[in-house]
Structures are given as C-alpha cells and as structure tokens.
A and B are shown apart, each in its own frame.
Chain A
Amino acid sequence: MEEFTPVVKDGCGVFGVLRKEGAERIGNSVALKAIECVRYRGSSLGAGFAAFTNREEPRPPARIKVFVDGKESLQEVRDHLSEYSKRGLRMLSESLPDSTTKGVFTVYEVLVDSPDELLFEATNTLNVLMSKEGIRARVYSSGRYVNVYKDVGYPREVAKKCNLVEDRVFADAWLAHTRQPTNSPGRYPIWSHPFSSVEFAIVHNGDISSYGANMEFLKSVGITKHVGTDSEVVAQLLDHLVRVRRLSVRDVAALLSNPYERRLDGAIHGARIRELIIRLRGAQLDGPFTIVAGYCDGQDTYLLGLTDRSKFRPIVVGEDDGRYFVASEEGQIRTLSPEARVWTIEPGMFFLASLKRGIIEPGRRDRELFMGYSVRRDLDRFPQDRPFFAHNVIDAKGLSYAALNESILQVMADGRREVKVTNVQGQRYIGVNLQKPEFLGARILLYGYPGNCLANFNSGLQFIVYGNAADDVGDAMHAGRVIVHGDARDVLGQALQGGDIFVRGSVGNRAGIQMREYRERKPCMIVGGRADDYLGEYMAGGTIAILGLNRRRNHEGSLAGRFAGTGMVGGKIFIRSMVRDDEVGLPPPREDVLNYLYSLHLDGMLGAEEYKSVIGQETLDYFALKKRLPSIAFSKIERIFSGKYVKPISSDYRELDSDEYRLMESRLTDYFETFGLTKRLFEEVITSKFTVIAPYESTGPEIHRAESQVVEE
C-alpha cells in the first residue's frame, strides 16, 4: 500500500517584530517573552523562532541548517553537500550534532559560500534525496540573512535547547511561534514553525483550504518535496513569487491574500492584481489564516502580517518608537511595550513594513478611530488617587484565569459587590463563574487587557474594562452591562440577548452577530469608533449603533466594513456615516448584474438609453434597480438577487425618525454619561444622518417570502 504524506494543519500563537531605522537591534528574549505569554494557544508539540539580520556585505555566507535522523543520514547530507563543493559551493565551517540516535532528529549546521542558484539547487536536491521512503533529513533554514531555530516543546523549552533564553542573538527582525497541531504526528521538529524558504521565513496560524491547489502550483513549478504542511507551502510561495517571478513583496502579499473580486477596484488591489490572480492561479490562499512573515534581501528587511479575506484568525499590529509588532493577541505587544499603538488588520488586507521604508501598508483605513491607536495613559492604569491596597482589589499579575476567577468569587462571597482587578494580562473567561442570582448588579472593574471570552453567559453583572478587550466578549449574554473604555476585537456580543455593551473605541469583525430580542429583553450595542465586516450578521433583534465619534470633520469613509446586516431578520443597525447599498447584506457580484442587464438590453427589454443610464449608477443594488427598471425587466433580474431563504435588507441614509430618535435618545444618554462625553457632542450625534439598516418588510408580491411548509433544521 502506498504511503500518504500526512497533512499537518496547525492552530497556534504567532508573533513578529521589526526594528525601525535608527533603533537598536532586537534581542532574542523579546521574541521569547512575546510568544511565551500566549503559550496556552500552543502545546508542547513545537515552537520556534527566526532571526533576520541584514549584514552589510556583498555576499554574506549562507547558513544551512538540517534536521538529520541519525548517523547515516548525517553522512549522506555531508556527502551530498561535498559533491557541490566541486561546483563552487564552499563549506566554511560546520557544526555537528552532539549525539546521533537513529530515528531522532538532531541539527547539523554548515556555513557555506555559494552563488544563489547553486545554493538553492543544493538544498532542494538534498531535500529530494532525503525524502525518499519517509523524511530522513530536512533543510529547514538556508538563508544568508535568516536563521531559523525550532524544535519540539513549548517556546521556553525550545529557546533553552537553542540557547536563546538570555539575549545572545540581536537581529533586525524576529518571528516566534507556538504550535497547536491538528494532526497526530506532532512529535517531530520538522513540523515546527517557522518554515523557511531561502530568505523568507513564516509563522502561521490556520488551516488553508487551498492547500491542495497551492501544492499543485508548487509541484508544477518544480518544488516537489514537502514535509506536508500548509505553512511550508506559504513560505515556498512567497519565496518563489519574489525570487523567481520577481514580484514585489507588496504585490505578492496582495496576491496571496486573495482579495474578493469586489475588492479588485481599490487602490491596493488594482487591475494588476486581477491579472496576476488569473496568470498565477493556485498561488492564492483560501481558508482561515494569520501569517507573519519576515524577509531580508540584503537591501532591506520586511515584516509582513497577512490575514484571510474573512479574517478568521486573530491578528493585531502595533508600533512604538523603535519597533513594529504583529501578534495573535494584544497582550503579546503590551508585555513588551505597554504604551504601544495597537490596531487590527481589515479582513483580506495586510500589514507591511520595512526597516528602511517604514510602514508600506498599514493594513487598514481609519486607524485613528481605534482607541489603542492613540495612547491613552489614563485608561490602562489603576486610579492613583485611591488606596492601592483594599479588600476588594485583586492584583491579577501572574494569576491563571482560574485563580483570578476564584479570587473574584471569594471577594464577592465576602459580600462585596464591587471588585477591582489590576494588572489584567490577557486572562480568559473572566466572570463566567459569577453568574449567580445573589451577584446580580455587582460591578467588576478590570484594569489592563482581559483575554478572550470576557463576560460570557452574563446574566446581570457589570464589567468595566479600562483598556482594550479581546475576542468573544459577552457571548450568550442575557442581562447586565459590559463597558469597554478602549477597543474590542472580533465577535463582540455574539447572541447578545439582553443588556448592553458599550465600547468607546472601535470593534472588529462580526460585532453583534445573532443579537436577538425576546419579550422585554432588547439588547443594545453602542460603538464609539467603527466596525469591520459582517456587522450584525444574522441579527434578530435589538439595536446596534456605530458612532464614529473621533473621526475627522471631513471624514467620508464608511464606519462599517462589508456585508453589514447580512442574514438579518430583526432589529436595527444605525451607522453614523454613508454606507454604500452594495456593501449592505450580500448582493450578487456586480459583474453578474451588469451581465444580466446587458442581456436584458439584447433581449429588447431595456432600451439603449435606459440601459446606459442604469449601468451608470454607482451601485446596482436591489432597490436601485427596482426603482429604475421597467417592471417586466425587474421581474426577470430579480431572480439573481432574491432567494427563498434570504430576505432583502433595506438601507437608508437619513436623519432619525421620531421613534428612532426616542429609542436612540435613551440609549445614547446612557452611553454618553458612561464615558463622560459632552452634551454638545450628544446633540451633534443624535441629529446626524445615519445609515439605518433593517430587514426589508415586504409589501409587494415580488418578494419571495420563506414559504411556510419548509423547515430547515
């Protein structure tokens, strides 16, 4: 029976850092510290680091690092490289593993001087040779500027094995990774990250569904030997496209991120990227991923943070006076730089910075609407004017989430109904153990940055965060309140069924999805900044308001991402900016609409003038066409818009009507009081124009309502 390469797909924690020009080189302890603080994202099954150092010399030697699984393999590897010495690959010095046991991978390292092509050929043929009948040896680092360190274990153990605990290596950029394998054979270092190809190294979190297509692409351009992970594939794609196809790092990032066809008109993803996508099919990535990549070409050093088109994996970006950061969680950045500016990447976008050029792509518009972007010293700190030591104050520093939750429970059990927690450092699940009737109305004040799943199942407590909150805040919350003085990340208030969530800054993807109301419970979410894609998806009740309080006067962009209100069946969303009609819900691709319109014209159902005027519209959404097309033509084209299971979403940019005004007045008053905002701003906000998004209530016969006899369950 033939052998099947296992497919290795990992979940993980990732980190990358790049120094700014003029700043000191970065020591290895920085990378270790930043990855060790999310060790719960990983496992004992693998970790690693990569250092990028630009050496200012014409052709610095390359460092080839090979995992070898015993004496014989080691000999084969050395023989193979010796063969290449005849052709100009000079072995300068080598370091042999301390011991070689058959079946256990150890590291053989050799410094060589060689022309680029020969170096690539030597390592590639070595991998081919050593992959016959299972992998017996594997080159995992072979660059002149990049040096990968990886092994099996948690980050600290791996750092120890690689002698990277005390500062010893200083580099322009670092990557770090802790691995959570989905697959079984997780016990070999060849599957640890980073993965490197020539001068690129990457760390990755996710599961790439395009893996099979990417493999076909790589095989067809001659890269045939793989250890079987989707992460390695990414490193090889980056290297191939930049080194062989001579594309810029920026274009490759845009190509790999695989932008939606509807994004291909923007400044970042122009017609050139469309042409690349068609020409280089199979090189794009699909499925969830966060990728942090580093690259040095001898001229400049780059740090790249890439997220998928739906931003299914967490990624945050940071910047301080001397460094840029990309990380899975904010805590990793705050550990290193408490006052760094922090923001997130928009779905399908990427962050790219280089040592010499600074930020090339910030990864999003409207960075200034994020509270974490403007340093707010007043928020992250425990108020100094009160005594630090008190019976209701807990110092969370170094506490596990279970210990922290237990401490809060004990304070409450003493009868106190206000608990202050200082130095919150990414602990998850805060408050999920407190949902007891006797605690209703209690206040938990959190200073710092709480981790994921804050206030889940909340049934009547108040949580106040002085700082930024993470993902999954307020999931399945039934009552009470969550107040965030900074930003919140993705999936805020999923299935929020009662109570309020107030966020002073901005929020990530899928805020308020599945919000719903039941009887007297009408939940409310108010966001002071902006929101990313899929705001209020599946919403079935309650109110969401997005206010853009800190935007500039002349700000014209939308305060929400794409697909707002898609699948909405109840409730209302108010966005204090214009939102294009074709960015609400899920309209069919513009190209399909144009095509149908042209066909209507050919069929004689749409005169030449009418056709011209219709396609001249900026948005070709359902309601615009309904208004402009002759009814017979509309009855035809309607079929590509509506379906039996999806109702149209209505969207209007206008001032609030009297009912809405009353609703918003009471909610906003609360919000403005909570954050101490001025009366003047209140007046300005409530009289502004909003894009009001709600399910379309059908009056005419042309809308296909869900028919009664069909259940999908």
Chain B
Amino acid sequence: MASSVISEFSRIPTSRQSEFWNVPKIQHLRRLAETGSAVRLWTPLEELTRRPLDRVRFTGVGYDGKGGDLSGYAYSNANSAVDLAYGRISLTSPLYLGDMSYGALSGVANIAIARAADVTGVIAGTGEGGLHPDVAKCKRITVQWASARFGVDLKVLNTGMAIVLKIGQGAKPGMGGHLPGTKVTEPISLTRRIPVGRDAISPAPHHDIYSIEDLGQRIWALKEATGKPVFVKIGVTNYVSYIASGVARMGGDGIILDASGAGTGAAPSVVKDNVGLPIEIAVAAVDRALRIENLREGFSVIAAGRVSNAEDAAKLMALGADCASIGTACLICMGCLMVHKCHMGFCPTLLTNKTERDPKRLLSPEKATEWMVNLIRGWTEEFRLILDRLDLKTSKDLVGRKDLLQGFNLNGETAEILGVKAGNPRGSPTPLLDAESAFWTDELKQRLQEMAGTVGRAPREAVISSMGSVGPPFVDAPTRIADWIVSDGAQVTRPSIDPYREEIETACYLARGKIRLSTPVILGPFREEMPPKLIRALVRTASSMGTILYLEGRPPRELEKYARRIFVPGGIDDPAGGYVIAGDDWKERVHLQAGKRPLYLRLECSESSPTSAVDAALLDLDGVILDEDRDCAGRLELEVATSEVDAALRKVLREGLPLRTNFDVIAMGERVRLSSDVFKLCALGADAVGISTAATLAVGYEKEEDASSLDEEQIKDRLENLILATGREIKLLAGAAGVSSLFTTLVGNRELLRAVDMEPAVRRRLRIKPAGLG
C-alpha cells in the first residue's frame, strides 16, 4: 500500500520557456476538472499562439478576446452525440481520449482515463503495450495493434470497441520506441509479455506494412480475426490526404490524425520540432480529399494534436473532423505541470513515473477518475454552448462547416488550404522572422551542449524531450526561414527507417568524388585568430570525423599532416585539402590558382549569387561556398540563396549534363544552428553545410576567457561528440522520411519539404510546396 496518496493539484511552477500549454490553459483545464461544468465559451487572447487554428474564429458569435458571457447559458439543449466507424460506435460527446500506453503512463492515469470513458460514454485509446488488468475491465476502450505487438493476442484484440492500428504518432512520425530494460518492471513485463529487465524496442515501421495495399492486408487480417472496426492512427505528414484516402479505400473505419505538437513520453527533439503538420491543416486537407473521392460518408476523422479546449475541438470539426482526441489535456486535468521531464522517469505528479509493484507514493485513482469525468462533462458542456451560439442542434451539423469560420492575420495561401476566408483586410500576416527574439537562446545552447557531452549524460546522441509543445514557428518565435519548413515523415506509403539499427548512409562526396565526408557537416568558417588549442582541436576533429575544416587563414605548421582535411584561402601556398577564393574580381585572379585543386569560390548570399555560381562552374571550379555572414547589397537568407544557386546550376547544361552534377554547393553561416538546419539546407540544394558558432557554443567556448578552462583533448572529444550527434539527428530526420542515402536522395529533394503557413513569396523562391496541398 502506498504510504502517500496525491489527491490535489500542485502549484504550477513559473518557467521562462514559452509553451503552448501555458498557465491560463492549465488553469482552465483544472477548473473543468474541479467543477465538471462549463467555465467559458471562447479562448481568451492571452492563451492564443501563432498557430493557424488560433488565427481562425467563428463568425457572428461576438468574440471579444475574453471567455464570453455565460449568463443565461446555464444549460444547453444541443445534442453533442456522434457516431463513428460507419455508425458502429456511438459517443455521447465527440471526444476520443488519447492513446497513452501503460508504461508511458504509470497505471493510475490509464485506469482513470478508461473508467471516465465508461462513466461518460466517450471512448478511450489504450496505446501500445497491452492492457492493464483494470483497464481491460472497462468497456469503452480501443486496443492498439502496433509495430512491436507488445501484449496483444486475440483475447486482447477482442476486448474493447475497436482496434487501433497504429502506424505513427504526431510527436515523432516515422519513429519507433525504446523502453530500456530498467523500466521493464514486473507490472510492465506482465502486460507486455516480455522478461523483466530486457529492453523493449518498437520498430519504426510495421515490417509487414510498407505500402497502402500492405495496410489493407493487415486491416483485413484483423477484421477476419475479430470482426471489430479498425481505426488507423498516423502521424500527420506531407502526404496525409493521400494516406487518408488509402485508409478509407482499404477498408479502415476511420483515421486518427495525430499532428505536430502532440504529446509523447519521449521523442527526439529534432523530429518533434521538424516533422509533421499542424492538425488544422491536416483536417482540412483530409476532409477535402475524402469528399472528392466520395469516401467521406461514415468514415471517421479523429483530430489530435494541441486540442486544448472545446473551442479548438469545435473549430476542427468545422474544418472537417468528426471527433477530437485529447491526451495532454487529460494529463493536465490530472495534475500535469508541464515540466517536460516524462522521459526521465520521475514525474513530480506521478503520472509518468516509473511503474513499480508497490510504489511509495501514488496518485489517488478515485480522485484522478473524478477529475477525468469532470473534465469530459465540463468540456462537453462548453462544446454544447458553442453549438448553441452557432445555432446548431447537433455535433453532426458542425462537421465540415468551414463557412462558419473566418481567418484573421492569415496569409491567403493558408486560408485557402483551410478553406476559410482570409479575413485579413489590412494584410498583416505574421512576420516571417522575429528580429526581437534572442537567437542563441539558453534552450538552444543547452541542446548543443548535451549533444557534445559538455553537459548532460548522453553525449553523441540525439536530444530527447517529452510532453509539451514548444518550438518555432508557432510557440517560440521563428528566427530562421527554416523554422517555417517541415520535413516529411513516412507513414504507410513507404516505411520509415530506424537509424539506430538499420543502414542510413550519410556519407557524401565533394570535388567530383575526391573528398568523402562522413556526414554533410563541415566545420567553418573559422578565423585564424581563434585560440590555438581550439584550432588544433578543430583540425584534428575534421581529420578523425572525416570532414573538412574551413579556416580563413594559415594553419599552424605543426598541423600540416592534417592538411587534406583543411580548406584555406586561395592566397596560401601550403598544401591543403582545398582552396577558397573570393572577392568581386575573382575572375581576374582565378588563373593565379593554377594547380590549386579542389578550388572553391566563396560567395556572399545575394541576388547575384546564382549568376556567379554558374560562372564559377563554367570556369571549372569545384564548387561555391555560400557564406551568409558577409553583408552585401541585396542580401539573401541562406535558405533562399542555396535553393536559387542549386536551381540555377541545374538549368545550364554542359556535355548533356547540368553544371550542378559535378559542382558542389556548400552553405555556411554563423547562424546555422542544429541538425535540422543542415538537413533542410541539403534538401534545398546544399551538398554540405558549415557550422561555426554552434560548434564553439557546444563545446562551452562562448567568450575568450572560456578557453582557459578547456584543454585541447576535451574540446576535440566534445567536437567529435557533436558531429556524431548531429549525424545521428540527421539520420533520424532521413529515416523518418524513408531516405536511406543522403548523397543520392536528399540533396535538392525539395519534395521532402513543405512550407507551413509561410509567406508565399518566400515559399515560391525556395521552390517548395505549401503543406496541405499537392
């Protein structure tokens, strides 16, 4: 028996970090949990973020930036019931309660969620990993068939109202899971049917589902064995509307769209922040595609990912969803404080801590159930009041009513994707970049230093995070164009690849095959005025990690043996791995470089970069280095310059092949931050990307006096760790997209990228498609 039982909310700690689930949102959910009745109608201004859903409103309801007047609306007559799966499942309210597994949550929360579904008549998903015995007693649950088949046999599959075939999740589309043996305690071992203490790994894809017809095969196998409805849960990625059509055509009864910002017990930040589309765009695109295909009737669309209140749910239904799914909101109503530490295993509110047989402290199951029941009742009441305000009698009347919505501060392209009026008479869409915000934030530095092993306990690994929704462009301010770009996640139509256990090649070749880089990350530009031990460490790291250091100056004599891994300015006569010339008059001076090969031209990022790059290629140089840091007239963002230079080089043919084929494009700048910038710049057309400030910050060298506390070997170790971790994160992005070779598949592959709510003029220059179209 637990010695202490938690049955009240903890005080919400203050945090400097921006978070979608901000304090007013948490307070609202807590009030619902405590009262079980409606608190307000509308989301007040202070809770809104930059996400498109927050820039869409119901028209004609008198929204005043506050919660709305509840007087005279004590009780609503609207009917909130909905049917799912071609009428086989009826819910009293359009709510699906997350798919949180036993293991991700520590038991009590799983039971409270399932019991609350039974009490209120909604439905609860149970996640992968088998059923907790007390959850198995509940009626209104779905059971999950996932890639590892943990804890499922026919008996389990026959429990509950439906089967959820889980392909992916919004927080990490295209990724599997890894529960270390130390977390496989006796209770977990029992439900998953694996030995205590042995790692439990879920593969990234289902290895029997590599295509839409394979998915159909598994849907029909499950139906043949159980006769239950089958929902397919996917992480929302580029081709979401095609996948939804495929699921419907293959006999699925519905699709659970788990979008970006959705919760997770643990996910690599690089995937969480850079893969996946917002739910509002997904719902609108899916609803449209299903209607065109005549597949919408009876098929269920369930929307998940940052659904924070009844108004969010109502808007998503107006955009085309049948039902909203909530997970994070459930945890908050049971006390979650958004401390972002689920993956550490010691949740202060006992929701996600390590599962033990006889825990010392325990969340009160009765209280947690009460909170959950109240949340559902209060939420539903708010939802019905919204129906009243919209003059609608039933939930079903709301589905697909885009005409009830209007945008404000939405760009025209996003409005068209959502299918709502832009409603933006003065044309003031969100700014592309937020110049006010700090660039190298503490969070950013922390991540780099974790990768390098300067802090933390997992050097060389991708940085892990958990619940919550942070990050640009919708919560944190966007500081690079790359922040508006997402990368693809393979869901159903092709398998994602597990970079920890399967081959993803990151090696790339420069200078017509003369230089092989182990990853497309090079170190530079660095100036020769750096402390010598830093330069020595950089050179040795370039050598051991199989990359290049671009040093703007003469390397010390004693480093000559590493010369083949150093690029130097063209004026230097020492042996080097490559030479770099620059300046407006480079064409006149290029003949002086005879015999110096490989030879690169350094260009500032400007409107004239493409022309200069073509000239350099025609003069048989080996490539260009696009340097973002030089000021010049008509200065361009590195993303735009890279894409335009790549495109220009592809347009000019020589001997039947485009100039680009044997000519490199290297992008670099002091503001290149993380692996995701490298990955996106490669997809926009760069062969390799240079990092400089990111590298020095990662090793703990921020200002000159930091040098004295570091020794050369330590710096080298950290730099090596950083490059290995960056390689790992790049592999995670590639694997998520189903890309197994960067060199052949990634470079210039803009089809992997989508612009999310980006300023259309910039998007067109980048040559990428908007998310939700095409």
Interface of A toward B, CB cutoff 8 Å: 1-2, 4-7, 9, 11-12, 41-43, 180-185, 205-207, 209-213, 215-216, 219-222, 244-245, 258, 260-262, 274-275, 277-282, 284, 286-288, 309-310, 312-313, 401-402, 405, 428-429, 432-433, 435, 452-453, 456-457, 459, 471-472, 475-476, 478, 491, 494-495, 497, 510, 513-514, 516-519, 534, 537-538, 540-541, 563, 566-567, 569-570, 586, 589, 591-592, 595-596, 598-600, 602-603, 636, 639-640, 643-646, 706-713
Contact = CB atoms under 8 A, between A and B. Distances in A.
Contact of A258 (B101, B225, B544, B744): B744
A258 B503 CA distance: 13
Contacts of A180: 211-213, 216, 246
Given A284-B741, A456-B221, A639-B720, A711 B208 contact: no
B515 to A, nearest CB: 11
Given A286-B740, A709-B345, A43 B249 contact: yes
Given A6-B774, A277-B744, A645-B461, A435 B154 contact: yes
Nearest to B105: A713
A185 B288 CA distance: 12
B242 A713 contact: no
B675 to A, nearest CB: 16
A204 to B, nearest CB: 11
Given A11-B212, A281-B661, A586 B501 contact: yes
Interface of B is mostly: mixed
B651 interface: yes
Contacts of A471: 208
15 contacts: A2-B764, A182-B239, A209-B740, A210-B745, A215-B751, A220-B651, A279-B661, A288-B738, A457-B153, A495-B149, A516-B193, A540-B194, A589-B505, A711-B344, A711-B354
Centre residue among B208, B460, B494, B746 by max chain A CB count within 10 A: B494
A646 B656 contact: no
A150 B577 CA distance: 54
Contact of A602 (B157, B194, B561, B653): B561
A9 B224 contact: no
Given A287-B739, A596-B545, A602-B562, 20 more contacts: A2-B764, A7-B242, A9-B493, A184-B242, A209-B490, A212-B750, A213-B746, A220-B661, A222-B653, A278-B513, A282-B744, A312-B495, A453-B208, A453-B217, A453-B218, A453-B221, A457-B225, A602-B561, A711-B343, A711-B345
A216 B543 CA distance: 33
A645 B178 contact: yes
A285 to B, nearest CB: 8
Given A220-B650, A518-B195, A640-B724, A713 B505 contact: no
Chain B, interface size category, equals 35 or more
A285 B774 CA distance: 21
Contacts of A708: 180, 182-183, 345
Centre residue among B490, B492, B743 by max chain A CB count within 10 A: B743
B657 interface: yes
Contacts of B413: 1
B241 interface: yes
Interface stretch (B7-15, B64-72, B196-204, B599-607): B196-204
Interface in B643-695: 650-651, 653, 656-658, 660-662, 683
Given A11-B211, A184-B245, A595-B544, A220 B507 contact: no
A591 B518 contact: yes
Given A1-B416, A7-B751, A11-B493, A599 B221 contact: no
Contact of B494 (A209, A213, A592, A600): A209
Contact of A12 (B213, B224, B242, B509): B213
Contacts of B426: none
A712 B221 contact: no
Interface of A is mostly: loop
Given A9-B493, A212-B752, A710-B464, A310 B221 contact: no
B744 A281 contact: yes
B221 A432 contact: yes
A430 to B, nearest CB: 10
Interface string B493-506: 11101101111010
B552 interface: no
A640 B459 CA distance: 12
A208 B489 CA distance: 13
A490 to B, nearest CB: 8
Contacts of A516: 193-194
Nearest to A435: B154
Given A260-B505, A275-B513, A591-B507, A518 B650 contact: no
Nearest to A479: B153
B769 interface: yes
Contacts of B740: 209, 286-287, 309-310
B461 A643 contact: yes
A351 B242 CA distance: 32
Contacts of B728: 643
B153 A184 contact: no
Interface of B: 101, 103-104, 148-149, 152-154, 157, 177-183, 189, 193-195, 198-201, 203, 207-208, 210-214, 216-218, 220-221, 224-225, 239, 241-243, 245-246, 249, 264-267, 289, 292-293, 342-346, 354, 412-413, 416, 457-458, 460-461, 464, 488, 490, 492-495, 497-498, 500-503, 505, 507, 509, 512-513, 516, 518, 540, 543-546, 561-562, 650-651, 653, 656-658, 660-662, 683, 720-721, 724, 728, 737-741, 743-752, 764, 769, 773-774
Contact of A706 (B182, B189, B212): B182
Contact of A589 (B211, B293, B507): B507
Contact of B739 (A42, A286, A453, A567): A286
Given A281-B744, A710-B458, A310 B502 contact: yes
B744 A213 contact: yes
B543 A599 contact: yes
Q: Which 4 A/B pairs are nearest by Cβ-Cβ distance?
A: A4-B774, A212-B751, A567-B501, A220-B658
Contacts of B104: 713
A540 B193 CA distance: 11
Given A209-B738, A216-B650, A429 B241 contact: no
A518 B239 CA distance: 39
Contacts of B744: 210, 213, 258, 277, 281-282, 284, 286
A514 B213 CA distance: 23
A698 to B, nearest CB: 13
Contacts of A709: 344-346, 457
Contacts of B488: 209
Nearest to A541: B195
Contacts of B225: 429, 432-433, 435, 456-457
A183 B344 contact: no
A513 B202 CA distance: 11
B501 A476 contact: no
A226 B80 CA distance: 48
A589 B503 CA distance: 9
Given A12-B213, A212-B749, A278 B180 contact: no
A519 B464 CA distance: 32
B241 A713 contact: no
B494 A207 contact: yes
A21 B425 CA distance: 73
Centre residue among A41, A282, A401 by max chain B CB count within 10 A: A282
A275 to B, nearest CB: 7
Given A453-B217, A639-B720, A646-B500, A182 B748 contact: no
Contacts of B741: 258, 284, 286
B154 A495 contact: no
Centre residue among B213, B502, B543 by max chain A CB count within 10 A: B213
B748 A213 contact: yes
A595 B242 contact: no
B154 A9 contact: no
Contacts of B148: 495, 514, 538
Contacts of B178: 645, 706, 712-713
